[in-house]
Amino acid sequence: MTLEVFLDFVQGNIYYAPYAFFGLLILAGFNLPVSEDLMLLTSALIAVKNPHLKYELFAGVFLGAYLSDLICYGFMGRFLGQKIFKIKFFANMITDDKLEKVNGFYSKYGIFTLLIGRFIPFGVRNALFITAGLGKMNAWKFAISDFIACTVSCIFFFWLYFTYGEAVIDVVKKGNIILFTLFAAGISGWFIHKKIRQRHKEGLDDDPVL
Protein backbone atom coordinates (compact mmCIF):
# COMPACT_ATOMS: atom_id res chain seq x y z
CA MET A 1 0.00 0.00 0.00
CA THR A 2 1.51 3.34 -1.07
CA LEU A 3 1.59 6.37 1.21
CA GLU A 4 -1.02 8.15 -0.93
CA VAL A 5 -3.45 5.21 -0.77
CA PHE A 6 -2.99 4.84 2.97
CA LEU A 7 -3.52 8.58 3.48
CA ASP A 8 -6.73 8.45 1.43
CA PHE A 9 -8.01 5.49 3.46
CA VAL A 10 -7.29 7.14 6.80
CA GLN A 11 -8.68 10.48 5.61
CA GLY A 12 -11.92 8.75 4.64
CA ASN A 13 -12.24 7.34 8.16
CA ILE A 14 -10.73 10.24 9.99
CA TYR A 15 -12.34 9.83 13.42
CA TYR A 16 -11.12 6.24 13.61
CA ALA A 17 -7.59 7.22 12.55
CA PRO A 18 -6.08 7.47 16.08
CA TYR A 19 -7.36 3.96 16.86
CA ALA A 20 -6.07 2.64 13.54
CA PHE A 21 -2.56 3.98 14.21
CA PHE A 22 -2.67 2.62 17.76
CA GLY A 23 -3.77 -0.85 16.61
CA LEU A 24 -1.21 -1.10 13.83
CA LEU A 25 1.62 -0.13 16.15
CA ILE A 26 0.52 -2.72 18.70
CA LEU A 27 0.96 -5.34 15.95
CA ALA A 28 4.50 -4.05 15.45
CA GLY A 29 5.24 -5.16 19.01
CA PHE A 30 4.82 -8.75 17.84
CA ASN A 31 7.38 -7.97 15.12
CA LEU A 32 4.88 -7.69 12.29
CA PRO A 33 6.14 -5.38 9.52
CA VAL A 34 4.48 -2.13 10.62
CA SER A 35 6.73 0.92 10.36
CA GLU A 36 6.62 3.30 13.32
CA ASP A 37 8.22 5.95 11.10
CA LEU A 38 5.44 5.61 8.53
CA MET A 39 2.78 5.83 11.25
CA LEU A 40 4.32 9.03 12.63
CA LEU A 41 4.62 10.54 9.16
CA THR A 42 1.07 9.61 8.17
CA SER A 43 -0.50 10.77 11.43
CA ALA A 44 1.31 14.12 11.19
CA LEU A 45 0.21 14.67 7.57
CA ILE A 46 -3.37 13.82 8.53
CA ALA A 47 -3.11 16.22 11.49
CA VAL A 48 -2.09 19.05 9.14
CA LYS A 49 -5.41 18.65 7.29
CA ASN A 50 -7.35 18.02 10.51
CA PRO A 51 -5.76 20.20 13.21
CA HIS A 52 -8.72 19.64 15.52
CA LEU A 53 -7.60 15.99 15.82
CA LYS A 54 -3.90 16.75 16.23
CA TYR A 55 -3.64 15.64 19.85
CA GLU A 56 -5.77 12.54 19.36
CA LEU A 57 -3.64 11.47 16.40
CA PHE A 58 -0.43 12.02 18.33
CA ALA A 59 -1.82 10.12 21.33
CA GLY A 60 -2.67 7.18 19.05
CA VAL A 61 0.85 6.84 17.64
CA PHE A 62 2.60 7.61 20.92
CA LEU A 63 0.64 5.11 23.03
CA GLY A 64 0.82 2.52 20.26
CA ALA A 65 4.58 2.95 19.94
CA TYR A 66 5.21 2.79 23.68
CA LEU A 67 2.99 -0.22 24.35
CA SER A 68 4.52 -1.90 21.30
CA ASP A 69 7.93 -1.51 22.93
CA LEU A 70 6.67 -3.05 26.17
CA ILE A 71 5.20 -6.00 24.26
CA CYS A 72 8.47 -6.51 22.43
CA TYR A 73 10.44 -6.38 25.69
CA GLY A 74 8.02 -8.19 27.99
CA PHE A 75 6.31 -10.78 25.81
CA MET A 76 8.83 -11.42 23.05
CA GLY A 77 11.97 -11.03 25.17
CA ARG A 78 11.21 -11.97 28.77
CA PHE A 79 8.20 -14.28 28.41
CA LEU A 80 9.11 -16.19 25.26
CA GLY A 81 12.81 -15.81 25.97
CA GLN A 82 15.06 -18.33 24.30
CA LYS A 83 12.04 -19.94 22.63
CA ILE A 84 12.08 -17.23 19.97
CA PHE A 85 15.38 -18.60 18.66
CA LYS A 86 13.44 -21.64 17.45
CA ILE A 87 11.80 -19.28 14.97
CA LYS A 88 14.17 -18.85 12.04
CA PHE A 89 13.40 -15.14 11.57
CA PHE A 90 14.41 -14.27 15.15
CA ALA A 91 17.37 -16.65 15.12
CA ASN A 92 18.78 -14.69 12.19
CA MET A 93 17.94 -11.32 13.69
CA ILE A 94 19.42 -11.87 17.17
CA THR A 95 22.58 -13.94 17.31
CA ASP A 96 24.58 -14.66 20.47
CA ASP A 97 27.19 -12.09 19.41
CA LYS A 98 24.55 -9.40 18.88
CA LEU A 99 22.97 -10.25 22.22
CA GLU A 100 26.30 -9.84 24.01
CA LYS A 101 27.09 -6.59 22.22
CA VAL A 102 23.72 -4.95 22.94
CA ASN A 103 23.72 -6.16 26.55
CA GLY A 104 27.14 -4.58 26.93
CA PHE A 105 25.81 -1.29 25.61
CA TYR A 106 22.83 -1.48 27.96
CA SER A 107 25.14 -2.08 30.91
CA LYS A 108 27.45 0.80 29.99
CA TYR A 109 25.11 3.44 28.56
CA GLY A 110 21.64 2.52 29.87
CA ILE A 111 18.93 4.90 28.71
CA PHE A 112 21.13 6.37 25.98
CA THR A 113 21.09 2.99 24.20
CA LEU A 114 17.29 3.17 24.03
CA LEU A 115 17.27 6.86 23.16
CA ILE A 116 19.70 6.46 20.27
CA GLY A 117 18.16 3.16 19.20
CA ARG A 118 14.69 4.67 18.84
CA PHE A 119 16.00 6.96 16.11
CA ILE A 120 17.31 4.00 14.11
CA PRO A 121 14.98 1.95 11.87
CA PHE A 122 15.97 -1.18 9.87
CA GLY A 123 14.70 -3.48 12.64
CA VAL A 124 17.16 -2.09 15.19
CA ARG A 125 14.44 -0.91 17.57
CA ASN A 126 12.73 -4.25 18.00
CA ALA A 127 16.06 -6.04 18.21
CA LEU A 128 17.05 -3.71 21.07
CA PHE A 129 13.79 -4.25 22.96
CA ILE A 130 13.82 -8.03 22.55
CA THR A 131 17.47 -8.10 23.61
CA ALA A 132 16.65 -6.08 26.72
CA GLY A 133 14.01 -8.68 27.60
CA LEU A 134 16.30 -11.62 26.88
CA GLY A 135 19.00 -10.03 29.02
CA LYS A 136 16.49 -9.63 31.90
CA MET A 137 16.95 -5.87 32.07
CA ASN A 138 15.04 -4.53 35.08
CA ALA A 139 11.40 -4.04 34.00
CA TRP A 140 10.95 -0.67 35.72
CA LYS A 141 14.26 0.60 34.38
CA PHE A 142 13.26 -0.40 30.85
CA ALA A 143 9.73 1.02 31.16
CA ILE A 144 10.91 4.39 32.47
CA SER A 145 13.91 4.65 30.13
CA ASP A 146 11.87 3.70 27.09
CA PHE A 147 9.05 6.07 28.10
CA ILE A 148 11.54 8.95 28.05
CA ALA A 149 13.11 7.78 24.78
CA CYS A 150 9.72 7.19 23.13
CA THR A 151 8.44 10.59 24.25
CA VAL A 152 11.48 12.39 22.82
CA SER A 153 11.47 10.57 19.48
CA CYS A 154 7.68 10.67 18.93
CA ILE A 155 7.39 14.38 19.76
CA PHE A 156 10.40 15.21 17.58
CA PHE A 157 9.29 13.31 14.50
CA PHE A 158 5.60 14.25 14.81
CA TRP A 159 6.56 17.91 15.11
CA LEU A 160 9.04 17.59 12.22
CA TYR A 161 6.53 16.01 9.84
CA PHE A 162 3.68 18.25 11.02
CA THR A 163 5.80 21.35 10.43
CA TYR A 164 7.65 20.45 7.22
CA GLY A 165 5.64 17.57 5.75
CA GLU A 166 7.01 15.22 3.11
CA ALA A 167 9.81 17.68 2.29
CA VAL A 168 11.95 16.28 5.11
CA ILE A 169 11.51 12.56 4.30
CA ASP A 170 14.80 12.31 2.38
CA VAL A 171 16.63 14.20 5.12
CA VAL A 172 15.26 11.82 7.76
CA LYS A 173 16.23 8.78 5.69
CA LYS A 174 19.80 10.03 5.29
CA GLY A 175 19.97 10.84 9.00
CA ASN A 176 18.72 7.36 9.86
CA ILE A 177 21.41 5.76 7.70
CA ILE A 178 24.10 7.86 9.38
CA LEU A 179 22.81 6.98 12.86
CA PHE A 180 22.56 3.29 11.95
CA THR A 181 26.15 3.30 10.69
CA LEU A 182 27.46 5.08 13.79
CA PHE A 183 25.48 2.80 16.11
CA ALA A 184 26.73 -0.35 14.37
CA ALA A 185 30.30 0.97 14.44
CA GLY A 186 29.97 1.84 18.11
CA ILE A 187 28.72 -1.61 19.07
CA SER A 188 31.43 -3.30 16.99
CA GLY A 189 34.09 -1.06 18.49
CA TRP A 190 32.95 -1.81 22.03
CA PHE A 191 32.90 -5.55 21.33
CA ILE A 192 36.41 -5.51 19.80
CA HIS A 193 37.72 -3.45 22.70
CA LYS A 194 36.23 -5.94 25.19
CA LYS A 195 37.78 -8.89 23.36
CA ILE A 196 41.21 -7.22 23.31
CA ARG A 197 41.01 -6.49 27.05
CA GLN A 198 39.87 -10.04 27.74
CA ARG A 199 42.76 -11.52 25.76
CA HIS A 200 45.20 -9.14 27.44
CA LYS A 201 43.91 -10.20 30.86
CA GLU A 202 44.17 -13.88 29.92
CA GLY A 203 47.74 -13.26 28.75
CA LEU A 204 48.64 -11.69 32.11
CA ASP A 205 47.05 -14.59 33.97
CA ASP A 206 49.11 -17.05 31.91
CA ASP A 207 52.40 -15.31 32.71
CA PRO A 208 54.54 -17.38 35.09
CA VAL A 209 54.97 -16.01 38.55
CA LEU A 210 58.62 -15.08 39.19
Domain count, the chain: 1
**Does 171 fall in a domain?**
yes
pLDDT tens readout for residues 7-53:
677 777 888 899 989 998 999 888 787 888 889 988 998 998 899 99
Side chain identity at residue 179, one-letter code: L
pLDDT tens readout for residues 58-87:
999 999 999 999 998 998 888 887 777 666
**Does 210 fall in a domain?**
no
Give the residue numbers spanning the domain of 170: 3-205
**Does 78 fall in a domain?**
yes
Q: What is the pTM of this model?
A: 0.75
Burial class (CB in 10 A: 0-12, 13-18, 19+), 62: buried
**Does 61 fall in a domain?**
yes
**Does 134 fall in a domain?**
yes
